[in-house]
Amino acid sequence: MEIRAWVHEEARELPVLADVDVLVCGGGPAGTAAAIASARSGSKTLLLERHGFLGGMATAGLVVPHWDSHQNGGVNADVIDRLGSRGGWGAEGWKISFDPELWKHVSEDLVLDSGSDLLYHTFVVGTLRAGRAVKGVVIETKSGRFAVLARVVVDCTGDGDVAARAGAHFEKGRDDGLMQPMTTMFRLGGVTWVQRRNAELRDLIEQAIERTGDEYRLPYDYPWAIHLPNPGEVAVMLVHVRDVDGTDVRDLTRAEIDGRRQTLAVVDFLRRHVAEFADAHLIETAPQVGVRETRRITGEYVLTGDDVASGRSFEDAVATVSFPADIHEPAGTGQVGFRVGSGPVRRGRYDIPYRALIPRDIDQLVVAGRCISGTFEAHASYRVKGPCMAMGQAAGVAASLSASSGVAPRDLAVRDLRRALLEQNVKLDTDSTDVRDWRWETVENDPTYRPDRGTMRQLSAYHGPG
Ligand SMILES: Cc1cc2nc3c(=O)[nH]c(=O)nc-3n(C[C@H](O)[C@H](O)[C@H](O)COP(=O)(O)OP(=O)(O)OC[C@H]3O[C@@H](n4cnc5c(N)ncnc54)[C@H](O)[C@@H]3O)c2cc1C
C-alpha cells in the first residue's frame, strides 16, 4: 500500500482494561482452542476477537469442511460432539461439514464454560514490549483505546498481527511474493444435487457455457458445492481473487468487492443455465472474504514441504496433520500440491513441532494456527482447521504452564507440555486421519515429487476443497 505522508501521533497514557495470565488474540479455530485449553489449565485467561462472534474462517468465512478434525482429539472433539448433539455436524456427501451458525454458539459456550473471559468487537492494534518480551497488547474498541497486560500472549490472529507488531521476523507468499488467492464463500438454498467428484461442478458449468455460448468464465478449475447439515443448503467454494494480500486494507477491500461481484455473476449463471441449480437462491455471501494465507512467523523451527511429503515425526510434536499440501495457484486457475507421505517415507501424517509455535526473536509470545513457522508449501497443508485447533490447544496449555511456572515458553520442558495435552484428551501420535479414512485412496502416489513448486503434482484426483 502506497503511503505519501506521515503525521506525528502524540504519546498518551493508556488505561489498563485487564491484567491476565494468558491473553489470546483472535477467536478463530486456533484462538478458541487456545483460550479453552488455557482456562482449563487453571490460568486467568482473556480471549480478544474483532468480530462479534467466534470461529474465524469457520464462521466469518463460511468455510464449512473441518478437515483433519478427528485425529487430534481434545477441543476438536469437544466441538464436533457439541455440533453433533445439536444436529450441526455432517451432511450428504460431507461427513465433516458443519452448520457455521451453530459453530458460533458451540465455540462460545465452550469458551465461557472453560472460565475464560471474552471480549468481542476488540481489535488488537499494537504490542507493549520490554526488550524482546511482549508484556501485553494495545486494543481499539467502541469504548476507546486500552492496554491489556499478560504474562504470556498467544497470537491466533491468522495473520500473525501480534507477532508482526512486536517486530517478529515473518515471510509471506512463495518466492515471487504471491500468495494463494482469496475466496468469498457463499451459501445457496434449494440445491439437492450432491457433488461427488472434484471436477463435477466445473464440468457442469463448462458444458453449460458450451451449450449456451454464455460469456461466463470460471475463476477456478475445481469449484465445490459443499452440503451443510441443513437440507438443500450448500456452501460454494468457487470465487477466486488473485494478487491480493490479506494484510493490506486496500487489497482486502478490493477482494470483498470483487468476491461479491463474482458471486452474483455465477449464481445468476447457475440459475439460468445449470438444471441442478435451477431452484437455487443466494442466502448470503460470507461476512468476510476468505483469506488462505498471509504472514508466516519465523520460529525456532521452520516446517518444510519435505517434512510434509515425508510424513516427518518430531520429538516435540504437539499436533498431527494428514491433509495434503493444497495450493490454489496464485497466478493461474488450477490447484497443485502433494500428499503427506508421497516422499521417500510413506506415512499418512506428519507432526507439528512445538518449536514452530515459538517466534525466533520474541519472548513471552506463542503463535498458533495458520501463521506458525513454515514454508509456503508446508503452510498449504497445516492451514486447515483441525490442525489449527490442535495447535491452539497446545499453545494455550504451553502459555498456561509458562505463566504459572515463570519458565519462558521457549524453555518449557516439552515432556510436561505433552503430558498436560494428553490430560486434556489430545491424541498425540495417532494414525487415524480424516483424509485417509474417506478420500485417501483416490490419491495416487507420485514418485516424481520434488519439493520445489514447479514440479509438484496436479491434485486432479484429490477430492475436496481447501
Ligand atoms: C476459502 C477457504 C477455504 C478453506 N477450506 C478449508 C476446508 O475445506 N477445510 C478446512 O479445515 N480448512 C479450510 N480452510 C483453511 C482454514 O479455514 C483456515 O486456515 C483456518 O480457519 C485458520 O485458523 P486460524 O484460527 O489460524 O485463523 P482464522 O480462522 O483466520 O481466525 C483468526 C481470528 O482472529 C481474528 N483476528 C484477526 N486479526 C485480529 C486482530 N488484529 N484483533 C482481533 N482479532 C483478530 C479474526 O477475526 C478471526 O476470528 C480454508 C480457508 C479458506 C480461506
- 279 and 342: one domain? no
CA nearest ligand 1 atom 34, residue: 26
pLDDT of residue 182: 98
Residue 306 in this model has a pLDDT that exceeds 70: yes
Angle of helix 74-85 versus helix 385-405 axis, rounded to 10: 120
Q: Does 360 reside within a domain?
A: yes
Ligand 1: distance of its center to the CA of 56 in Å? 5
User: How many whole angstroms from 156 Cα to the centroid of ligand 1?
Assistant: 9
- Give the residue, by CA position, lying nearest to ligand 1 atom 50: 466
58 and 97 co-located in one domain:
yes
Give the residue from 190, 435, 206, 198 showing the smallest Cα distance to 321. 435
| Assigned domain for 10 exists | no
What is the CA(448)–ligand 1 centre distance, in A? 32
Q: Which atom of ligand 1 is nearest to the CA of 290?
A: 53
130 close to 136: Cβ distance less than 8 angstroms: no
Specify the residue with its C-alpha closest to ligand 1, atom 7.
466
Closest atom, ligand 1, to C-alpha of 368? 26
- From ligand 1's centre to the CA of 446, what distance in Å? 30
Cα gap 350→348, rounded to integer Å: 7
Question: Residues 313, 167: one domain?
Answer: yes
Same domain, 344 and 233: no
Q: Is the pLDDT of residue 15 over 60?
A: yes
Residue 170 sits in the same domain as residue 53: yes
Of 81, 55, 59, 185, nearest in space to 465 by CA: 185
Q: 349 and 429 in one domain?
A: yes
Cα 460 versus chain centre, distance: 23
Nearest CA to ligand 1 atom 4: 466
**Are residues 121 and 76 both part of a single domain?**
yes
Q: Looking at the structure, do residues 276 and 298 belong to the same domain, yes or no?
A: no
Note whether residue 451 is domain-resident.
no
Instruction: Provide the residue range defining the domain that includes 417.
Output: 16-174+293-438
Domain count, the chain: 2
Which atom of ligand 1 has the smallest separation from the CA of 123? 42
Which ligand 1 atom sits closest to the C-alpha of 292?
53
Phi and psi at 305, nearest 5°, equal: -60, -35
pLDDT, one tens digit per residue, over 138-195 is 999 999 999 999 999 999 999 999 999 999 999 999 989 999 999 999 999 999 999 9
Q: Which tops the pLDDT comparison, 448 or 49?
A: 49
Backbone angles phi, psi at 11, to 5 degrees: -70, 145
* 4 alpha carbon – ligand 1 mean position (Å): 32
Q: Which residue has the higher pLDDT, 444 or 154?
A: 154
Taking residues 75-102, report their average pLDDT: 95
At residue 303, φ and ψ (nearest 5 deg) are: -65, 140
Same domain, 142 and 259: no
Tens of pLDDT, residue by residue over 185-243, are: 999 999 999 998 888 999 999 999 999 999 999 999 999 999 999 999 999 999 999 99
Check whether residue 255 and residue 308 sit in a common domain: no
Other C-beta atoms lying within 10 Å of the C-beta of residue 86 = 13
| Digit-coded pLDDT (tens) for 392-408 | 999 999 999 999 999 99
**CA 383 vs CA 318, 377, 379: distances in Å:** 15, 10, 6
How far lies 125's CA from each of 46, 69, 312, 364, in Å?
A: 16, 31, 36, 18
User: What single letter denotes the amino acid at residue 266?
Assistant: V
Of 157, 263, 367, the residue with max ligand 1 atoms within 8 A of its CB, to mutate for a pocket test, comes to 157
Q: Is residue 1 part of a domain?
A: no
Q: What is the DSSP string of 215-263?
A: ----S-SS-EEEEPSSTT-EEEE---B-S--TT-HHHHHHHHHHHHHHH
Output the pLDDT for position 310: 84
Which atom in ligand 1 lies closest to the alpha carbon of residue 158?
27
| 335 pLDDT tier (thresholds 50, 70, 90) | confident
**Is the residue at 422 inside a domain?**
yes
Q: What is the mean pLDDT of residues 95-100?
A: 95
Ligand 1 centroid from CA 122, angstroms? 17
**Alpha carbon 292 to its chain's center:** 7
Q: Tell me, what's the pLDDT at 342?
A: 61
CA-based torsion, 33, 38, 42, 43: positive or negative: negative
Q: What is the mean pLDDT of the chain?
A: 91
Is residue 5 included in any domain, yes or no? no
Q: What is the CA(58)–ligand 1 centre distance, in A?
A: 7
* pLDDT score at 431: 60
Index of the ligand 1 atom closest to the CA of residue 389: 25
Question: Residue 201 Cα, ligand 1 centroid: separation in angstroms?
Answer: 25
Among 27-41, 331-345, 449-463, the minimum mean pLDDT is found in 449-463
Identify the residues whose C-beta falls under 6 Å from ligand 1: 25-31, 48-51, 56-58, 61, 63, 65-67, 123-124, 156-159, 161, 183, 185, 237, 290-292, 369-370, 383-385, 388, 465-466
Determine how many CB atoms are found less than 10 A away from the CB of residue 445: 12
How many Å separate Cα 450 from the centre of its chain?
A: 26
Question: What integer pLDDT is reported at residue 1 of this predicted model?
Answer: 82
Q: Give the CATH number, domain containing residue 31.
A: 3.50.50.60
The answer on 37 and 69 residing in a single domain is yes
Whether 363 is in a domain gets the answer: yes
Residue 31 within any structural domain of the chain: yes
Q: How far is the CA of 316 from the centre of ligand 1 (A)?
A: 25
CA-closest residue to ligand 1 atom 45 = 26
pLDDT of residue 428 exceeding 90: no
